[in-house]
């Protein structure tokens, strides 16, 4: 069975846009070298890190004496100890089922000796804490035999840097051509979209911004649906978040501390697309450790800096909107407002409380008329216009 597995081409043959990712990752691994290489694969949730690692693993595993793909490290460490996971992984790699039955001192010495003599391939998928690699004791180059390769996927760049990886591959979204193809495959089970659906597909591709998870979920949800339902689904984009997509993305947000979460929400509501220096100047007056916190958001792929512009993926921004909407059914009691109807409603009905007023006041450098928490100008439309 091991020989047959090594001969199998794997499932990556049918993956859209995967070849370029495989090529770049293999280049970083330096496959022809006898050097032990530890490579990180980094990117936002749903961008395809695990898929790329699996595709590379399937493609090259037949070149190694031992190999194992350890999936969902973050989830597994909730059910198992690091020692349990490490022992199971090493038993697979060394093909020694009785490893766990050995006395601890003998097992450690035996394992180290075997690993140094063996060329192995290991994938550690979804590592979200630098301690996890240290506890697994798998981030050390001299632990493995010549030519061994280790792949680690993570949403957090610092997890990879702190464990001394040799290189980091940042995963970018699919280009428009591949995104359209992936969406079509899931919506119609064919590479080429229907002509009368092209405009609808292009709008969804623009929304997903190359994120494979979003494309797959959207396409699958519209499979065998009428054109009217397609239009209805488009109307929900940006307003009602898809729970399957949000569940994956929310993991990164939940891993932030309280102040970092507030900065993330601020950027989503007020500074997505803003000039970097301006955004930093405004936010710096509100948070004590802004530069550090912004670096955390960047490392976790929650924000990016492109040509001095602060940017956030649309589906992450949608998640932020959803998080704030959950604060209260009453828009006037939410910490931030973005929907123009909600803004007009709370101003017209004088429903804005002091917290919201103060929030707009500090974040906007007094550029708004809301400076009094009790009395509003008689013309609420004037305030709405300025907003």
- What pLDDT is recorded for position 108? 63
pLDDT over 70 (residue 22): yes
Domain that holds residue 213: 176-237
pLDDT over 50 (residue 78): yes
Cα–Cα distances in angstroms (integers) from residue 236 to residues 206, 232, 239, 240, in the given order: 14, 7, 5, 5
Q: What is the arithmetic mean of pLDDT over 275-292?
A: 89
- What pLDDT is recorded for position 386? 38
pTM equals 0.77
- What pLDDT is recorded for position 359? 41
- What pLDDT is recorded for position 110? 67
pLDDT digits 0-9 by tens, 235-277: 777 666 778 888 888 888 988 999 999 999 999 988 888 899 9
pLDDT digits 0-9 by tens, 152-179: 999 999 999 988 899 999 999 999 999 9
- What pLDDT is recorded for position 2? 61
User: Which CATH number fits the domain that encloses residue 270?
Assistant: 1.10.10
- What pLDDT is recorded for position 307? 82
Residues 160 and 183 in one domain: no
Q: Cβ contacts of residue 15 below 8 Å, gap of 6+? A: 51, 55
Residues 186 and 113 in one domain: no
Q: What is the arithmetic mean of pLDDT over 331-347?
A: 79
Residues 166 and 180 in one domain: no
The total of structural domains in the chain comes to 3
- What pLDDT is recorded for position 355? 40
Residues 51 and 153 in one domain: yes
Q: What is the arithmetic mean of pLDDT over 125-153?
A: 84
Residues 264 and 318 in one domain: yes
As a whole number of angstroms, the distance between CA 72 and CA 248 comes to: 13
Q: Which two tokens stand for residue 285?
A: 């007056």
Cα–Cα distances in angstroms (integers) from residue 370 to residues 106, 265, 280, 320, 361, in the given order: 72, 21, 23, 24, 7
- What pLDDT is recorded for position 374? 37
pLDDT over 80 (residue 357): no
As a whole number of angstroms, the distance between CA 30 and CA 16 comes to: 24
pLDDT over 90 (residue 340): no
pLDDT band at 136 (very low <50, low <70, confident <90, very high): confident
- What pLDDT is recorded for position 306? 82
User: Which CATH number fits the domain that encloses residue 101?
Assistant: 3.40.50.300
Residues 200 and 282 in one domain: no
């Amino acid at each position: 069975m091991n020989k047959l597995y090594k001969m199998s081409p794997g499932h990556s043959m049918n993956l859209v846009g995967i070849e370029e990712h495989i090529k770049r990752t293999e280049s970083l691994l330096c496959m022809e070298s006898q050097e032990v290489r530890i490579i990180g694969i980094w990117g936002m949730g749903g961008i395809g890190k695990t898929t790329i690692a699996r595709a590379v693993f399937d493609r090259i595993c037949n070149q190694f004496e031992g190999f194992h793909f350890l999936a969902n490290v973050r989830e597994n460490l909730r059910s198992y100890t690091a020692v349990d996971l490490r022992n199971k992984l090493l038993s697979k790699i060394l093909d020694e089922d009785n490893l766990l039955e050995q006395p601890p001192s003998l097992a450690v010495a035996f394992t180290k000796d075997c690993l140094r003599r063996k060329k192995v391939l290991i994938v550690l998928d979804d590592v979200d804490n630098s301690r996890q690699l240290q506890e697994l004791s798998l981030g050390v180059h001299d632990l493995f035999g010549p030519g061994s390769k280790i792949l680690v996927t993570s949403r957090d760049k610092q997890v990879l840097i702190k464990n001394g990886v040799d290189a980091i591959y940042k995963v970018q979204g699919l280009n428009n051509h591949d995104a359209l193809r992936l969406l079509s495959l899931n919506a119609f089970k064919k590479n080429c979209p229907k002509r009368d659906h092209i405009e609808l597909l292009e709008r969804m591709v623009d929304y997903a911004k190359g994120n494979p998870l979003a494309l797959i979920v959207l396409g699958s949800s519209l499979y065998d649906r009428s054109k009217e339902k397609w239009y209805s689904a488009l109307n929900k984009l940006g307003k009602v978040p898809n729970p399957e997509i949000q569940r994956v993305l929310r993991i990164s947000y939940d891993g932030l501390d309280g102040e970092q979460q507030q900065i993330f929400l601020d950027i989503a509501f007020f500074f997505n697309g803003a000039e970097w220096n301006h955004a930093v100047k405004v936010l710096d007056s509100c948070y004590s450790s802004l530069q550090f916190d912004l670096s955390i958001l960047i490392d976790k792929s929650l924000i990016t800096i492109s040509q001095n512009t602060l940017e956030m993926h649309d589906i992450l921004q949608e998640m932020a909107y959803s998080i704030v909407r959950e604060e209260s059914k009453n828009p006037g009691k939410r910490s931030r407002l973005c929907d123009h109807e909600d803004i007009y409603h709370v101003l017209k009905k004088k429903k804005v409380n002091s917290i919201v007023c103060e929030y707009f006041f500090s974040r906007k450098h007094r550029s708004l008329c809301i400076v009094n928490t009790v009395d509003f100008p008689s013309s609420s439309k004037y305030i709405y216009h300025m907003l």
